Structure 1
Amino acid sequence: MAQPPSVRGVADIVALIDGLRTVAGRARLSWYLAFGGLFLDAYANAALSAGLGPMTDQMKLSSTQISVLTATAPFLAIIFNPVGGWLASRIGRVPPLLIAKVFAVAGAVLAAFSGDFTTVWLGRVLVGVAYGVDFAVAMALLAEYTPKASSGRLNLWQAVWYIATTGNLALALGFYNLDVGQDIWRWSLGSAGVIAAVLLVLQWLFLVESPAWLASKGRLPEAVRNLRRMYGIEAVAAEPEAARDGAGAARPAVGFRDAGVLFKGAYLPRTVLSSVISLGQGMQYFAVGWYLPVISLAIFGESFEKATIGSMVFNAVGIAGGLASALFGRKLGLRLSSAYGFGGVFVALVVMGLTFGKAPLVVAFCLPVLFILCHSAGPGANGKSIAALSYTSDVRALGTGVTGMVGSFGSVIGLYVFPQIKESLGLGNTFLVLSVVPLLGMLTCLAVKWDPIQATASPDEAAADGTGSAAPAGTPGTPGSAPFPAAPGSGTAAPLGTGGGKP
């Protein structure tokens, strides 16, 4: 009878999971529950959008108050994305997700039953905290749950986002037909609280802590036990071997003071790539989002029902693109699929800018459709996925948190800066100015060669077996030595692409 494999550290855990072809068994349930948090994040954001008009009329909100409500969640995500990553590095992946659901429930209840602007805003503050923490941690957890052969499935979060948005719009339409009047926004925001409460219970009951994170903390017996619970993999915890350059030893906790590791050595191009993709997609999506309602109203009419149905049509295109992103990511890699997506968005924006107000209605409709399709099939999904797959377990949550923070900056810029440009230059010229964003994104994707989908080994495995550098010397790792091994036969860290990934 064959001896069960021994586990001495993170690399062994990753190798055993990567030996699987797909996510199955208990792991599949945990995978869907982690994705459920991303669904909630999108749904909670859409809940405000769907009910903002009736809320504005009922509460007599000023334009400044509307802007504050709209930007509260993305602004707080700038702060709480890295906070979520720090928590996940310190206390594990699952506890921050549960904390985020508690904040989401409290925020939804507070907003839904509020009687004034300040109370609604405080509710959105709690929702923004939940959004910032949940997104950073969920992507890190999903990356550690998923075998390398199925890593392209992480891009499905983009389809989940659009499905959640469409679901909230459909629910808002249902509430509208029930004649709830201007209180429709209360039902919309309150329904997000119901989803958060259900997810809180399910995640508390069924989510399993990441075996890779446990191994990174030296908790090998627990890591092996969770491997068995999730995947049915029988393994035994062995004594860590010092000769493996700390691969099995507990690594020091990574905090904010260690964030500089993301901008050194082999991590630098990965951080630049994921950050540029995340920033660019946030700027272009939230800026052009101002134009989509105009198209929707022009095509489908100005009633609440017709405008809502129009928005659902555009979101359906996003669902299709989000589903396609998993295929494109697997076939082309995340880097090239982002480059092609940025290229398509660039073309769409230039043509929209040159033909705005002149093109036939069908063309005016098809151009935003092209924009959403290219966005959701490429950079819209890849900014967060590439960050989750590019770092070793001990800094993965911090990396996804920092990338998420950069993406939230893009959202805020898109929501505020480009409306100002629109005010002074007009909508057509604004599209031309905005086209610089996807152009720079495309050029960055072509210049940086890292792609985790096409890498020959995961960052954790490369760090352990010496086939590629994962971090520069002097960063968190085994005391007194470089935390991850250098390339064989050299005294320095291996350059990017020498074994860790294809050039």
Structure 2
Amino acid sequence: MSTQATSTPPAASAPPEPLTGFHLRVTATTFGANFSDGYALGTIGAVLPALSTSMHLSGIWQGLLGSSALIGLFFGSITLGRVADAIGRQKVYLYNFVLIALASAAQLWAHGPGPLFVLRLLIGFGLGADYAVGPTLLSEFAPRRLRGVLLGSLTVLWTVGYVLSNILTSYLPLTDTAAHWLLASGALPALLVLLLRIGIPESPSWLASQGRADEAARIRRRYLGQTSPTAEQATAPTAEPPPAARYGELFARGQAAKTRFGVIFYSAQVLPYFAIYTFMSQILSTLRIDDATAQNLVLNLALLSGGVLGLWPVQRMGRRPFTIGTFAVLTVCLALMAVLSGASGWALMIPFLVYTFVMAGASNITQVYPPELFPTALRGSGVGFLNGTSRVASAVGTFVLPVSLSRLGVGWSMGWMALVLLLGTAVSMAWAPETRDAPTAEDWHH
């Protein structure tokens, strides 16, 4: 079975699909995983010094706890992305946050590294499911003309969660008890997201791909106000549903190049990002900056502003030029930090600040590109696979960076991360497709 799309009618052949309150609701509830992920990663990075003292953590345990949620994200994305293609998006979209809420709350009583590691693996597993299913579901509901900004805004909420955790941990005395309360506080947004997701319907694109066209039409009428097919839906097959897509089709001729590009592009971008911002305080102390708290605040503001302002070029520019351009800027920034590692902390802060601002905007594309690389029948599996493999890279970077900083110093550490970004630049120049106008509904023919 081929998973390639046929040509679609030009956009001018039908009026643009309007943005509805339901679109905004799905977008808002999909924010939950990104906010929770950013909050969880920011919190563990900030409380690790306090936990290291109270739990007597070795460097190995610090690396394991820092990367634990990322490891869980790998297994959740790989496993439940495939499940979502088999049984539908809605069930996974709802029940994964039950796990996240319960495991987050249980961190309050996890006073040893082993139990805390297991709980954070479970949190990551639930978040990984949402990284596979959330953008998939949203991309299948969103109007094509607004897909970039709606999907890109998910990463902005990751930044909001990360910055909020940093602000809280910067101005609270981090005793062992306070550290556990902060970790457990992640259950509150998770519970809110769980309640708001009740009633979100199944993806009509997935239903149509399963031959359940009548159910898909009812959802479109009720939730999207569509009383007649859009230009994309008019090309949808009406015959019996095709056989279920096999996982191996991610690597079949015609799809393999997009899968390969997605893995390398996503991994090269997030490896230095997650590593740097998990161990931000250690990096700032290495830079010999007197007022590290103030600089941390400035960097967090750069993260927020870069993420918000980065939504515009994601929407207006093509995916390919945006990806290549931001990779090139990020590579130069970390290369400058490596070359100038012997300079004053303030001199190093300039490329670090530019890196932070640009990376926040560039990371928006990680929620936009993956759903556009795969057809409906493979989208959950494909998005899950890219998220999972990228989190392996993130976990490796998060585990290696503290060791690298202590043994090699900030210069060499920034140097090898610049090489990772250079790889992303080269691969994007060679393989990045342009998917801004790619269909993500059931105008994919089998």
Are residues 1:444 and 2:424 paired? no
Are residues 1:278 and 2:266 paired? yes
- Other-structure match for 2:331: 346
Q: Distance in 2 between matches of 1:157 and 1:136?
A: 13
> 1:101: how far off?
0.7
Are residues 1:458 and 2:421 paired? no
| 3-state SS of 1:61 partner | coil
Q: 1:366 to 1:292 in 2, by over 3 A?
A: farther
Are residues 1:269 and 2:269 paired? no
Q: Distance in 1 between matches of 2:108 and 2:266?
A: 31
Q: Distance in 1 between matches of 2:236 and 2:166?
A: 53
| 3-state SS of 1:234 partner | coil
- Other-structure match for 1:469: none
Structure 1 contact 93–210 (Cα < 8 Å) conserved: yes
- Other-structure match for 1:373: 357
Paired letter, 1:364? L
**Runs of 5+ consecutive residues of structure 1 not aligned to the other structure:** 1-9, 465-483, 485-503
Q: 1:357 to 1:130 in 2, by over 3 A?
A: same
Q: For 2:163, which of 166, 169, 186 is the aligned residue?
A: 166
Q: 1:293 to 1:116 in 2, by over 3 A?
A: closer
> 1:113: how far off?
2.1
Q: 1:109 to 1:368 in 2, by over 3 A?
A: same
Q: Distance in 1 between matches of 2:153 and 2:440?
A: 22
Q: Distance in 1 between matches of 2:210 and 2:125?
A: 27
> 1:361: how far off?
3.5
Structure 2 contact 276–283 (Cα < 8 Å) conserved: no
| 3-state SS of 1:252 partner | coil
1:9-39 Cα deviation digits (max 9, x unpaired): x999xx99x9545532222112211122221
1:256-300 Cα deviation digits (max 9, x unpaired): xx2221222332222122211111012222344477424544676
Q: Distance in 2 between matches of 1:420 and 1:65?
A: 12
- Other-structure match for 1:29: 25
Q: Distance in 1 between matches of 2:18 and 2:301?
A: 27
Question: Identity over aligned residues, as a percent?
Answer: 22
Structure 2 contact 135–371 (Cα < 8 Å) conserved: yes
1:239-265 Cα deviation digits (max 9, x unpaired): x99xx89565323334xxx22212223
> 1:345: how far off?
1.0
Are residues 1:117 and 2:113 paired? yes
- Other-structure match for 2:244: 253
Q: Distance in 2 between matches of 1:247 and 1:392?
A: 17
> 1:441: how far off?
1.0
Are residues 1:405 and 2:399 paired? no
Structure 2 contact 236–443 (Cα < 8 Å) conserved: no
1:37-82 Cα deviation digits (max 9, x unpaired): 2212222222222322222222232322222211211112222211
Q: Distance in 2 between matches of 1:93 and 1:335?
A: 28
> 1:416: how far off?
2.9
Q: Distance in 2 between matches of 1:180 and 1:413?
A: 27
| 3-state SS of 2:240 partner | coil
Structure 1 contact 283–410 (Cα < 8 Å) conserved: yes
> 1:124: how far off?
1.2
**Runs of 5+ consecutive residues of structure 2 not aligned to the other structure:** 1-5
**Given the two structures, how large is their TM-score scaled by the length of structure 2?**
0.88
- Other-structure match for 1:491: none
Q: 1:123 to 1:11 in 2, by over 3 A?
A: farther
- Other-structure match for 2:83: 87
| 3-state SS of 1:463 partner | coil
Within a 5 Å distance, the mapping from 1:289-438 to structure 2 comes to 289=277, 292-294=280-282, 296-297=284-285, 301=290, 307=293, 310-358=295-343, 360-378=344-362, 380-422=363-405, 425-438=408-421
CA RMSD of aligned residues (A): 3.0
- Other-structure match for 1:479: none
Structure 1 contact 217–250 (Cα < 8 Å) conserved: yes
- Other-structure match for 1:497: none
| 3-state SS of 2:111 partner | coil
Q: Distance in 2 between matches of 1:311 and 1:251?
A: 53
Q: Distance in 2 between matches of 1:23 and 1:236?
A: 16
**Given the two structures, how large is their TM-score scaled by the length of structure 1?**
0.79
Structure 1 contact 106–123 (Cα < 8 Å) conserved: no
Q: Distance in 1 between matches of 2:90 and 2:200?
A: 7
Within a 5 Å distance, the mapping from 1:469-480 to structure 2 comes to none
Structure 1 contact 31–145 (Cα < 8 Å) conserved: no
Paired letter, 2:243? P
Q: Size of the alignment, in residue pairs?
A: 435
> 1:389: how far off?
1.4
Q: For 2:182, which of 188, 192, 205 is the aligned residue?
A: 188
Structure 1 contact 157–322 (Cα < 8 Å) conserved: no
Q: Distance in 2 between matches of 1:59 and 1:394?
A: 47
Are residues 1:135 and 2:135 paired? no
Q: Distance in 1 between matches of 2:16 and 2:120?
A: 41
Structure 1 contact 163–315 (Cα < 8 Å) conserved: no
1:418-441 Cα deviation digits (max 9, x unpaired): 555555543213322332211121
Bigger mean CA offset, 54-63 vs 414-423: 414-423
Structure 2 contact 96–130 (Cα < 8 Å) conserved: yes
Q: For 1:157, which of 154, 157, 171 is the aligned residue?
A: 154
Q: Distance in 2 between matches of 1:428 and 1:361?
A: 12
Paired letter, 2:169? A
1:157-195 Cα deviation digits (max 9, x unpaired): 221111111112233346x2xx68431112211211111
Q: 1:269 to 1:369 in 2, by over 3 A?
A: same
